[in-house]
Chains A and B, each alone.
Chain A
Amino acid sequence: NAGVMQNPRHLVRRRGQEARLRCSPMKGHSHVYWYRQLPEEGLKFMVYLQKENIIDESGMPKERFSAEFPKEGPSILRIQQVVRGDSAAYFCASSLGTTDTQYFGPGTRLTVL
């Protein structure tokens, strides 16, 4: 029974490049959440998606960041024109329903050179 899968686990990008982070939720889960953990801080909510819908993106930076959860395939968190301040661990979580427990993936550690 696979848990939440994220890839890649580590991603290195140069300033100005694009970063694509993928998340496959647990089997049967249709609710996906992205969180970001900056150094020495706790995880902070970014965005909540259901299949083909963005429900809440109040935690997403206004520019350069976007997320999607298509009908088929994983959820994607996309960061355009990365800057050093984007270096962080990005965690994905999934749940059965909105009020159910969230289960987390191993995270993607993004390093921007």
Chain B
Amino acid sequence: AQSVSQHNHHVILSEAASLELGCNYSYGGTVNLFWYVQYPGQHLQLLLKYFSGDPLVKGIKGFEAEFIKSKFSFNLRKPSVQWSDTAEYFCAVKTTSGTYKYIFGTGTRLKVLA
């Protein structure tokens, strides 16, 4: 069965530190990849998505992610985090073989210290 792994469950950083959150998936076919963010008390918000083309994807709020097919990875990065980036981050995968089911990782809680 397909699965998504987010290895970092809790991350604490100081402001201006660089961020990288790992996401690996298990599926041998073509995939669509997503990162969602949930700020405290708010809905899941789409940060960025990869469907095809340039494997380096830029999203909102200065986030980017790189799809490395050979490693089955889609890591999220931000060069300099802010206190307002404190949130929970979810990686999700959708196989493109006609399915609409998103498979989510367990999430990473990021806390940025001011």
Contact = CB atoms under 8 A, between A and B. Distances in A.
B102 A43 contact: yes
A42 B43 contact: no
Interface string B80-111: 00000000001010001000111111110000
Interface residues of B, number: 22
Contacts of A107: 43-44
Contact of A4 (B43, B92, B107): B43
Contacts of A40: 106
A56 B43 CA distance: 24
A45 B34 CA distance: 15
Contacts of B103: 42, 45
Contacts of B96: 99
Given A101-B46, A103-B46, A104-B36, A45 B102 contact: yes
Contact of A106 (B4, B43, B107): B43
Contacts of B106: 40-42
Contacts of A41: 106
B46 A43 contact: no
Interface string A1-42: 001100000000000000000000000000101010000111
Given A45-B102, A107-B43, 12 more contacts: A35-B104, A40-B106, A42-B6, A43-B92, A45-B101, A48-B100, A56-B101, A59-B101, A99-B96, A99-B100, A104-B44, A106-B41
19 contacts: A4-B43, A35-B104, A40-B106, A41-B106, A42-B103, A42-B104, A43-B90, A45-B102, A91-B44, A93-B102, A98-B100, A101-B34, A101-B46, A101-B49, A102-B100, A102-B102, A104-B36, A104-B43, A107-B44
Q: Can you list the 6 inter-chain pairs with the closest CB atoms, starting with the nearest? A: A42-B104, A104-B44, A106-B43, A43-B104, A45-B101, A42-B106
Interface of B: 4, 6, 34, 36, 41-46, 49, 90, 92, 96, 100-107
